[in-house]
Amino acid sequence: MQLTKRIGDPDPAPATHVDDWLDGVVMKCSPGEAYARWWLEQARFPAWKQMIYRPLMIDRELFCSHGGKRMRCTGASRMGDVWLTSNHMQSTGYELRVMVDACSDWSPAA
């Protein structure tokens, strides 16, 4: 990890916090992105609220492409990242934590 930047090097693109992505004004998006926004909104609810909706969400899955691989999204954190796993049967936990704008091609199917 580089702690300093050389003069003249471009600044890296800022990563988008999942809450900023969810709260951003979108006039039109793909059905997959609309589904991802809805699913991640539920994942960002406090635990007590997630438990209320658990019966409705238990069969809902979210997938995306990241780094050339199809990944399952298992949640999102207050730190702004989303949780991904390459195991499509895994519903909790994660292998990777990435910022939401590192993902694409959102859908409810692998």
Question: DSSP label at 9?
Answer: P
Instruction: Give the contacts of 59 (CB within 8 A, at least 6 positions apart).
Output: none
The DSSP string of 21-61 is HHHS--S---HHHHHHHHHHHHHTS-HHHHHHHHHHHTT--
Which pLDDT score, from 0 to 100, does residue 84 have?
97
Which pLDDT score, from 0 to 100, does residue 1 have?
45
Which pLDDT score, from 0 to 100, does residue 15 have?
86
Hey, what are 77's tokens? 């954190």
How far apart are the C-alpha atoms of 19 and 78, rounded to whole Å?
A: 8
Cβ 96 vs Cβ 66: under 8 Å: yes
- Tell me the domain boundaries of the chain: 30-107
Those residues of the chain that have pLDDT short of 70 are: 1-6, 8-14
